[in-house]
Structure 1
Amino acid sequence: MSEQNPPGLDLARLATHLERERPGLVRGPLRAEVVHGGRSNLTYRVTDGTGRWVVRRPPLGHVLATAHDMAREHRVISALRSTPVPVPETVLLCEDPDVLGAPFYVMEHVEGTPYRTAAQLAPLGPERTREIVLALPGTLAALHEVDPQDVGLGDFGRPEGFLERQLRRWTKQLEASRSRDLPGIDALRDALGSTLPDSPRPTVVHGDYRLDNVLVDADDRITAVLDWEMSTLGDPLTDLGLLAMYSERQDVPDSPVSTTSGAPGHPSAGELVERYARLSGRDVSRINWYTAFAYFKLAVILEGIHYRFTLGRTVGAGFDRIGELVPVFIDNGLTTVRKG
C-alpha cells in the first residue's frame, strides 16, 4: 500500500473527516491502494496499520457531483446487513463533495478473493471450483427472499413495468453509441420486446450478480456480495439471467471480457438455474428470455466501449478487440431468445 494519495483519495482529508465523524476509529497515518476490477465507481483499500476499511466513490471526472449513487449503495448494503445476505458493515456515508471531491462511503474490509477469470480458479481444482460457483444461486436466492419493506427498501425502485423500462433504457444506450452496422441486434431487441415475460413478485435486484462481484474466503464460503451500484427493485430473474449468461462458454479465444466459465469443474448455466429454482421455488421456465436479455445488455455495453475506442477515449490494452466480440453476443442472444 502507498502512503501517498491514490487518484481521487486525499488521505489527510479522509482522516480528518473520519476523526470528526467517528472519533477514535483511526489510530495512525492512513495508507491506501486502488482496488482494480470494478465496473465504474472507484474502490480503495485503506489501513492505519491496525484497522482496515474500503472506500467507494464515483469515478474521476464524474459530471454529477451528487450523492445519488453512493447513497444508494450505502443504503442497500446497510439495509441488508441484518439479513442472511453477506455484505460488509458500513461505517459512514459522506454526501459532501467538498471532502474528497465527490460523495463517498466507507465500509469494513472483508477477507476474501474475487475470482475474475478461469485462470484464477484453475489452481483450486475442479471440485473446489464447482462448490464455489454452486454457492452463487443460494446467495442470490437469499437476496431475493428479502422483503424490501421489512428492511426499509420499499421505495428503492419502481418495479412496475421494470422489464419494459430496462429494454427501452438499453435500446436508448445502443442508439447513443451506434456507429456501424450490427447485423441482428435490432432483431434481438424486437424479439425481446415481443416476448416479454410476466415478472414475478419484485425483489431487491443486484443488477450485476456474478462470481467476480463476490468475495470467497479460504474455506470457499461467500463472505460478501459487492458492487451494488446497479441495485434496485425489480424482476429477480434478471439477476439469474445475467448469472446464466456469464456461466455459458463463450467461443472467443483470449477474450478481453473476463469470464470464469472455462475453469475445470465450473458448473453449467443449466445447473445454476436449476439450483436457484430449487432453493427459491420460483418458476424459471422463461429463463431463456432473461439470458438473451443479458446478452443484449452486454452487447450494448461492449458496443459503447468499442465506440469510445474508435474516438480515442479509452486507455489501456484490449480495447481494440472489444468490437469483434459484439457480434458474438448478438448471435448468442438471438440463439437463446429463439429457444423460447
Structure 2
Amino acid sequence: MEEFLRAAEGVVVPWEQAVRERFDLALAAAYGSIDRVHAPLVVMPHGAGYAKGHPTSTGRLSVYGLDGQRLVRDGRPVPRMVVLSHDSQLDLLREQCPEVVEVAEVVGDLSYDRLVVSASSREAYRDALGVGPEQQLVVVTSTWGAGSLFGMHLDLLERLMDELPPSRFRVAALVHPAVWFGHGPRQVKAWLADCVDAGLMLFTPELDWRAALVAADRVIGDHGSTTAYAAAIGRPVLTVERPAALALVPDAPQTRLGEVAPALRLDVPLPEQLDSTDADPVLAEEIRARLTSRPGSAACTLRRSLYRLLGLSEPGAHRALSAAPTPRKWCRS
C-alpha cells in the first residue's frame, strides 16, 4: 500500500509518526485505531454505503462502520463527522450508536454522482478501450474475499475469453484493491496472464474503475459495491451467487440487487445469457434510490462541511464535478 500511495504522488507518513502529530483535518474510510488520530476526523464509507455487518449475541445485525465499538470512546464520538449516503443509514446509526447521531450528515454518494457526470464521456472511454461500434463491452467486477467472484469463480474469466467471439465482445475485469495488495500484483497478473494474452483488459488499481462501468454494455458481478453502482446507472447486470454466511444490511442496494437481478448460470452458454440480459429502468431506479438520498449533491455538501471543520471560509468559485479520467493505458496510438 505504501508503494501504491507513493506512485500516486502522496506524502506517506509512518503510522507511528502520524499518531504523534496534530493535523488540521483527517479523512478515514476505515476505522481501526482512529481514536489515536489527533485531528478533526471525518469517517466515510469506502464503498456503496454501509452494507456489511455481523450478527450479535442478541441476533441483531451490527453494521460495520456504524457501530459504537469503532466510533465511540469514553461515551463520546471519536469522529467530528460521520458521512452517510442515505437517510436509512441515519436510522441505523440512531439504533445502534445513538451517541454519534449528532455528528452524522447525509451528503449522498460521490461515486454515483461522478458516474452520472461521466456518462457524457462514454464514447471517449469506449474508444480508448478499443471497443468497436459493433462490439459489446462486458465488464466483470469482483470484491475481495473467499466468497467473492474472484474467490469462487476465477475460471469464469477464462470461460468468457473462450466463449465470447472477439468480433462481438471485449471483456474487462475490475478486481478489488484488497485482492491486488493481499496477493500482490505479480500474483494477480500471473493468475490472469492467459486471459490477458487472449484480450482481457485488466484494470490495475491506479486506473479509475468508473470509466469501465460507464463504457460497459453488460456487467457480471458479485455482492460488491461496483456491481451496485453498475445497476444504479442502468447497466444490465448478471450476478453470481453470494456466500450463504454473508451478512448484508436488508436495505442496502447490494442486498436488493442480489434478490432481483438475473443470476448467472454456469450451466448455460455465456453468450446466450449476455444477449438475453437487457437494461431494466425500474431496477436501476430502485437501486439508485437505495444508494443515495441526495443524488447530485455529494460534492457540494461534503466540500461545505470540510471547510467548516477546517474553520475556513468556503471559496466562492467551485469547480464542477469532473468526469472520470479516460483509461489512457489502452488508448490507440
- Tell me which of the two structures has the higher relative contact order, counting C-alpha pairs closer than 8 angstroms and 6 or more residues apart: 2
Q: State the TM bucket, normalised to the shorter chain.
A: under 0.3
TM-score by length of 2: 0.26
